[in-house]
A and B are shown apart, each in its own frame.
Chain A
């Protein structure tokens, strides 16, 4: 229970469904802030108190479990390392993968619980053979199945999402108000919970360090300089301050960040279009496809709030390393895909699996 409205309502619904429920708040920082500020909506002492008040009203016991060390190692340090390596990670997915449905779930199972129940908007369905499948929430606008795409069959086996069938967030808030929860109108959390002021770039610069480097075009010519490659993300247009104008006079965008050489590659907007993405860190959310090595039709989604795009996917050995990777070719090229992001693969409403993107292939060759 984060102290937000969703987990409070989820807990109440789980109790009413007849489960024996204990409220658990995750302590993810050794030095939590005292009060909510700005856009943050979890991880402060006030949030912990909000969660406890909701648990009191529901009439369930409430405890704080400390996972601050694992959170630092698996989420915060991973976030820094991924950025330092020029990738764009999603720490919320990492937290679901490593903390909520791993560290928390394992401890819960060991202490005698059967499942972790959260306020995520997603649905779990059971197929004819009793296998559990992860699906989108009924209300697509609130659907959070993307950030749960990292879950494996075993994790889904022990997960419950009581809000999956709710038509809208307004409904959840109304239910919370009816139940007398003080958090009924608490603002949603957004931004990254461990970056208090929301200044991700500044926070990263303090930890990754920044050094002057070169900005190149797709032919390798130097077109400008920068104060640190890690400050750039693929698709970025502003803040390039290029000394040499593009011959066509058109705006240029970041196409690639190369942390090893501290270089940033820029080019025209159409060069952002990605025709192929692939990653060797892939998982299946439930039963794996019977023949993943045969290309199959699916939809791919590359951000929490992006639209899914029809695609063809296949598991094949990497051309150089021979390591199996999940390779996905969207039927229409995707803009602004960066390594480190997660590509979640759907079949209809079902989450089939995901990969962390290692490499992308532009739909527009450099010499075009």
Chain B
């Protein structure tokens, strides 16, 4: 039996989304075409966009379909930054440490090529962004702030952020906020309208844009969305046929959108029951692992401040990749939370941003649950961990001195 506990990387497509995908792919028609097939494609596309908009509580016109989370985040950060610098110099971007690499690398690119100044905000020990730190940064940089960006929930350690509080600060300072909701979507209510309302966001100030991806909720890889508030301004990354409010040119992916919509509908319909079910399973993971390995530590927030499907641990004295390997050999797929190119493991930048030293950041292991996870999966994980940890701890850290060859 293969036990898949890496749903934050990608979760299995739900059968209904696969069926909808393949059915839609059988139909010809570019939604931009004027003839009947074009109109039929356009109808499928827009019906799907409405479903996606409903799942996010925004208007369909505000849903800009993209190739996925990375493109959405790039479009939001670069697009808003460029627009905000048209009439006045607003070069400061506020961002917490421990963001996803799609954000970090985009911001570093803006810094290097577009003169942006990034003000990295601290995280507390649980990985939470402190609104007071945001407020201080807004006061310090004042009218020079182009935008704020932040995760709704951290993809590695699962900590849920005070999005509404920070949106309120952004609104009060007349600054747009982008939220990366890729990890939160499908697991928490992601209600664009409610956050705007509760934070007093108006026009382009406050919550202005939000990124999601279909394959994290049981839809296909290759499609995602950027919710762009109708009053927010973004400069496009891609130029061409002017599709989607001129914001994202390129022939629209009807089949992908239809499949995305099916996954979104399912995720939304079972959100409340599923979040309770996953929270219970996750609590079993946490209790079981801390019981089996008493020296292990849970990283991130606890209780309702944590994503229902996320458990993230630090195992002292071993490499996360040794644990991952041994669990994989035992038929359990988990993650160290952070892999970079060529699979070279790096100490988690999220844990570093939370103030952990490199040693603690090395033995990181992320277990993420999803719609297909069962009690048996959790039993298998808990049964496999003690032996894997004992062996990984024997192998120790990769920079240890060797006995052989000396």
One of B71-79, B224-232, B238-246, B340-348 at the interface: B340-348
Contact partners of A49 in chain B: CB under 8 A: 342
- Which single member of B342, B345, B392 contacts A32 (CB below 8 Å)? B342
One of A8-16, A97-105, A201-209, A263-271 at the interface: A97-105
Report yes or no: B341 in contact with A111, Cβ–Cβ below 8 A: no
Residues in B372-398 with C-beta less than 8 Å from chain A: 391-392, 394-396, 398
Question: Total A-B pairs in contact (CB under 8 Å)?
Answer: 77
- Which single member of A102, A110, A155 contacts B395 (CB below 8 Å)? A110
**Residue A179 at the chain B interface, CB threshold 8 Å:** no
Residues in A25-54 with C-beta less than 8 Å from chain B: 25, 27, 30, 32, 45, 48-49
Interface of A is mostly: helix
Report yes or no: A48 in contact with B404, Cβ–Cβ below 8 A: no
Report yes or no: A45 in contact with B342, Cβ–Cβ below 8 A: yes
Report yes or no: B321 in contact with A65, Cβ–Cβ below 8 A: yes
Q: Contacts A32-B342, A66-B321 given: A97-B405 contact, CB under 8 Å?
A: yes
**Residue A293 at the chain B interface, CB threshold 8 Å:** no
Q: How far is the CB of B341 from chain A (nearest CB, A)?
A: 6
Contact partners of A98 in chain B: CB under 8 A: 402, 405-406
Q: How far is the CB of B317 from chain A (nearest CB, A)?
A: 12
**Residue A335 at the chain B interface, CB threshold 8 Å:** no
One of B58-66, B152-160, B269-277, B322-330 at the interface: B322-330
Which of A61, A66, A154 gathers the greatest number of chain B CB atoms within 10 Å?
A66
**Residue A69 at the chain B interface, CB threshold 8 Å:** yes
Contact partners of B345 in chain A: CB under 8 A: 64, 66
Contact partners of A63 in chain B: CB under 8 A: 321, 325, 343
**Residue A328 at the chain B interface, CB threshold 8 Å:** no
Report yes or no: A155 in contact with B328, Cβ–Cβ below 8 A: no
Residues in B310-369 with C-beta less than 8 Å from chain A: 319, 321-322, 325-326, 328-329, 341-345
Interface size, A (range): 20 to 34
- Which single member of A67, A105, A111 contacts B325 (CB below 8 Å)? A111
Q: Please, how many angstroms separate the alpha-carbon atoms of A49 and B344 in the complex? A: 12
Contact partners of B406 in chain A: CB under 8 A: 98, 102
Q: How far is the CB of A157 from chain B (nearest CB, A)?
A: 10
Q: Please, how many angstroms separate the alpha-carbon atoms of A61 and B399 in the complex? A: 24
**Residue B403 at the chain A interface, CB threshold 8 Å:** yes
Contact partners of A48 in chain B: CB under 8 A: 342-343
Q: Please, how many angstroms separate the alpha-carbon atoms of A283 and B76 in the complex? A: 61
Report yes or no: A70 in contact with B402, Cβ–Cβ below 8 A: yes
Q: Contacts A61-B328, A103-B398, A107-B322 given: A152-B344 contact, CB under 8 Å?
A: no
Report yes or no: A155 in contact with B398, Cβ–Cβ below 8 A: no
Q: How far is the CB of B289 from chain A (nearest CB, A)?
A: 20
Report yes or no: A111 in contact with B392, Cβ–Cβ below 8 A: yes
Given contacts A49-B342, A101-B404, 8 further A-B contacts (CB under 8 A): A27-B342, A30-B344, A66-B398, A103-B402, A106-B402, A111-B322, A150-B405, A152-B405
Binding site for B on A (CB under 8 A): 25, 27, 30, 32, 45, 48-49, 61, 63-70, 73, 97-98, 101-103, 105-107, 110-112, 150, 152, 154-155
A to B CB contacts below 8 Å, 25 in the list = A27-B344, A30-B344, A32-B341, A32-B344, A48-B342, A49-B342, A63-B325, A66-B319, A66-B321, A69-B398, A98-B405, A101-B404, A101-B405, A102-B402, A102-B405, A103-B398, A106-B404, A107-B395, A111-B322, A111-B325, A111-B391, A111-B392, A150-B405, A155-B404, A155-B405
Binding site for A on B (CB under 8 A): 319, 321-322, 325-326, 328-329, 341-345, 391-392, 394-396, 398-399, 402-406
